[in-house]
Amino acid sequence: MPHTTQIFQVSTLYGAATLAAALDAGRYGPRGGARRILLVSNNAALPETALRLDEMHGYGPIAGRFDSVISWNEAISPYHPSTWGPRGNDTTLWQRAFRLQWDIDERDMIELAVESIQVNPARALAAIFSEAAVDVYADGLMSYGPTREKLPLTIARRIRRLLHLDLIPGLKPLLLSEYGVKPEIVPDEAFRGVLDEISVEAADDPRLAPVLDEAPTAVLLGQYLAAINILSAQEEEDLHVRMLTGAVRAGHRSIVFKPHPTAPAGYSAALSKAAADAGVRLTVLDAPLLAETLYDRCRPELVVGCFSTAMVTASAYYDVPVARVGTALVMQRLKPYPNSNRVPLAVVDHLVPDLEREETPTVVGAAPETLSPLVRAIGFCMQPKTYPALRDTTADWLRTHLGDTPAYYFPAPRLAELRLPGSSPRARARVQAGRAKRVVGRAVRRGTRKK
């Protein structure tokens, strides 16, 4: 008799926690109703040297919700999860191989839950299990932005829903909306319950004890933006120092820095020097645990970051006031304009007080009326061919609000390229001239190759 096997693909503990909350909330039926496989993918550039998911505090309780755990890296070795995908003619062979390797009966139905459906490994899994229903889960602010790339209809038609956390109540995700995919909220109480489990499991980590002893009142979040070529390493070090300076100016004398897991040690050293110069206590927490565990254990009075999702979870699940630093700089550096970080940046820039302007930190609540139109206008400018229905509303919004909006949200060249309000005839002429040069250049290169 055929059964159902559910395959849950994860690459981060935060994503795994989101799926665990969805399971606890009954989004995948009762335990025992289907076989559940946790498929773990390590997408780091050098997976062999990166922190593994099973080394993170809280992994054990989450993995216990599944019937088996499988390594995607081992399954496709020696290929890299971010770059490998099956050739079109080989998908049937790969499905047979994985069914055999993972002990899935050839008659069993497959259901997939994946992250980032636009790229591998999610894209590869959807192609291999070509008859499977697909759920996409989003565990951060990127769910509010547009779909990065057009999906093949053979995949898009199989996506049943977008599972997401309600980080900004009232703001509806734009992701996958062009395919009619309905967003479905993972309940706050279920996710907070999973976070509490993780926190309890991490309580005995000896690296957490010095942090608790210092009783920090402010937490600084590192993101390692140099790794994705948005800032230089020096600029990112400076950004962390700016966070510290802002926290000190706000009256905090005991501060903890939670670096990005892949950040170099030099970042912490530069920050330590700045703390010593300012005469404040700084503790660097370089341990394999979520920032949310730190909030639960330390109960800070302030969380400072650039545009990390962990800033919003501090407010949404722990009622901690938050403040931002450096969003304008990072927004100006984002290239190309459709960069997926643009909407998360805009959301934080719009909602969270600027610490360097001495704005009062606040708990982020429900989305104000101004946020959704702004996000949709940015979404259209990022992916105009994907969301043509948003063109008129975007143009109307720009006519009314562009003068009151920071210039880095809607750069003049982008408005000119899309022929939207706010662009001058001269800017549009420059864009048209640039296009003409590129067309001529391509024609010349083609002609040269033929000779």
**Tens digits of per-residue pLDDT, 309-357?**
999 999 999 999 999 999 999 999 999 999 999 999 999 999 999 999 9
> What is the C-alpha to C-alpha distance for residues 248 and 246, in angstroms, rounded to an integer?
5
Q: What are the pLDDT tens digits along the chain (451 aa)?
A: 569 999 999 999 999 999 999 999 999 999 999 999 999 999 887 787 778 899 898 999 999 999 999 999 999 999 999 999 999 889 999 999 999 999 999 999 999 999 999 999 999 999 999 999 999 999 799 999 999 989 999 999 999 999 999 999 999 999 999 999 999 999 999 999 999 999 999 888 888 988 989 999 999 999 889 888 899 989 999 999 999 999 999 999 999 999 886 666 666 788 999 999 999 999 999 888 899 999 999 999 999 999 999 999 999 999 999 999 999 999 999 999 999 999 999 999 999 999 999 999 999 999 999 999 999 999 999 999 999 999 999 999 999 999 999 999 999 999 999 999 987 666 665 666 566 566 656 666 776 666 5
Boundaries of every domain in the chain: 4-193, 206-357, 371-432
pLDDT computed for residue 224 by the predictor = 82
pLDDT computed for residue 423 by the predictor = 74
Please give the DSSP secondary-structure letter assigned to residue 55.
Answer: G
Give the pLDDT confidence of 139-182 residue by residue, as tens digits: 799 999 999 989 999 999 999 999 999 999 999 999 999 999 99
In this structure, the dihedral spanned by the alpha carbons of residues 22, 24, 25 and 26, taken in order and rounded to 10 degrees, is 90
CB 160 within 8 A of CB 135: yes
Give me the phi and psi of 106, to 5 degrees please.
Answer: -65, -15
pLDDT computed for residue 228 by the predictor = 84
Q: Structure tokens of 143?
A: 């769910």
pTM of structure: 0.91
pLDDT computed for residue 41 by the predictor = 96
CATH H-level, domain 206-357: superfamily: Nitrogenase molybdenum iron protein domain (3.40.50.1980)
Q: Structure tokens of 150?
A: 């057009």
pLDDT computed for residue 52 by the predictor = 87
Burial of residue 218 (number of CB atoms within 10 Å: 0-12, 13-18, 19+): buried
CATH architecture of 4-193: 3-Layer(aba) Sandwich (3.40)
